[in-house]
Amino acid sequence: MATIMMVIMIGLLLLGFPMMVPLIAGAVVGFVMMFDGFGQMGTFVQQMMAGIRPASLIAVPMFILAADIMTRGQSADRLINMVMAFIGHVKGGLAISTATSCTLFGAVSGSTQATVVAVGSPLRPKLLKAGYSDSFSLALIINSSDIAFLIPPSIGFIIYGVISETSIAELFIAGIGPGLMILFMFSIYCLIYARVNNLPTEEKSTWGQRGVAMREALWPLFFPVIIVGGIYGGIFSPTEAAAVCVLYAFLLEFVVFRSLKLPDIYRIAKSTGLITAVVFILVAVGTGFSWIISFAQIPQAILESVGIADMGPVGVMVTICIAFFVACMFVDPIVVILVLTPIFAPAIESTGLDPVLVGVLITLQVAIGSATPPFGCDIFTAIAIFKRPYWEVIRGTPPFIFMLVAAAGLLIAFPQIALFLRDMAFR
């Protein structure tokens, strides 16, 4: 049955159907084979609806809406100007500023696609003008935007937390350390790249200019303070933090900056509604598919075939990393989290692994796979936004992928990189 389901899914994917169609088709075929017909299809529909019932998922459209408001407003530009004012003059400063801006905007929006648009659009022309190759610039923007998967608020953490019943607040805090570590690794690479290619530096800003840039970016910088500080201080839950972010973004862009007008609300709401619909359809279908394969005991069969029962904690983590990394090279990250997390759940529980650490590792692999050929979703986002050919977009990615894989290795070897802040906040 598992083979037939996989053949149907792969065939429909190759024919160009949206991801939800192969998932539904594979799940329905599996259901019919298990229950000998469509008589109990209502049970499958109930499982799909159960997937989008958790209240924690309300945070997803809220963070998408907040990101959309800020992307169309001035928040991103103000953050970029502040970063450039402080580090733009050092060797490789423009590239380091791009990576830092992606991290900061990720802490504001939680969306990789929004980060690619908001940061990549203004900074890519500057990188090209400064002498950076287009392949390097595109790879830097794509991979730096994926830090948004780890820096709270992270939609990936929300989906994983709902599926695995892990504390989303703990996941948010645990993602900060790995995200900053990856930013540091990218910054070192940018410095080396600029020195090797003898690239020019930007003009050094005066302290007066830095003060102005800092003052203009002060309001957007309160976003991560609200999210992390509010959750850490026990003021509100992650879902409530998402609602507060929407209100703050609205007040900032419509009232304080006045960068948006009331007619813009319709376009923003429409865009958010479309993205949210896609996400929730994938969540519902992925939940139904996960229920089918769990009911058929396919996860147990797969884990037995790879001998995971004989592995220790490190072996299980390495296997999880490889599985999620490869899967996200071909399939939407949300679907991968929904489908693979239940498969590995028995092994995670039997080895006594911390589900928060596993969540950070899984989300990191999702980030890597999203920017990795052949079908990483962020690659096609960059192609659509920057109008560049596929091969040019992916040509500069190998060094960044290597650094991200190295970061995963460091997390496995030194779990406290992720768990240190979590333990301080919640233990």
Residue type, 204: K
Angle between helices 416-426 and 176-196 (to 10 degrees): 140
E strands in 103-202? none
pLDDT digits (tens, 9 = 90+) for 31-70: 888 877 777 788 888 888 888 888 878 888 888 888 888 8
pTM: 0.83
Neighbours of 144 (CB within 10 A): 32
pLDDT over 70, % of the chain: 97
- Specify the pLDDT at position 103: 87
pLDDT digits (tens, 9 = 90+) for 288-326: 877 777 777 776 677 777 777 678 899 999 999 988 888
Return d(Cα 279, Cα 276) in angstroms, integer.
Answer: 5
- Specify the pLDDT at position 411: 95
- Specify the pLDDT at position 188: 95
Return d(Cα 272, Cα 123) in angstroms, integer.
Answer: 25
Tokens linked to 219: 């309001």
Sequence-distant (6+) residues with CB within 8 A of 264 are 72
**What average pLDDT score do residues 111-136 get?**
85
Q: How many angstroms separate the Cα of 50 from the Cα of each of 54, 89, 284, 379?
A: 8, 52, 8, 32
Most confident of 202-206, 257-261, 407-411: 407-411
pLDDT digits (tens, 9 = 90+) for 227-260: 878 877 778 888 888 889 899 999 999 999 988 9
- Specify the pLDDT at position 147: 87
Most confident of 175-189, 223-237, 387-401: 175-189
Mean pLDDT value across the chain:
85
pLDDT grade, residue 407 (50/70/90)? very high
Tokens linked to 373: 């050929």
In the predicted structure, residue 193 carries a pLDDT above the cut 80: yes
Buried-exposed string 336-367: b where 16+ CB fall within 10 A, e elsewhere: bbbbbbbbbbebbeebebbbbbbbbbbbbbbb
Return d(Cα 240, Cα 54) in angstroms, integer.
Answer: 14
More confident residue, 238 or 209: 209
Most confident of 25-39, 330-344, 394-408: 394-408
Tokens linked to 407: 């970061």
- Specify the pLDDT at position 425: 80
pLDDT grade, residue 404 (50/70/90)? very high
- Specify the pLDDT at position 309: 66
Q: How many angstroms separate the Cα of 288 from the Cα of each of 4, 266, 321, 342?
A: 17, 33, 24, 12
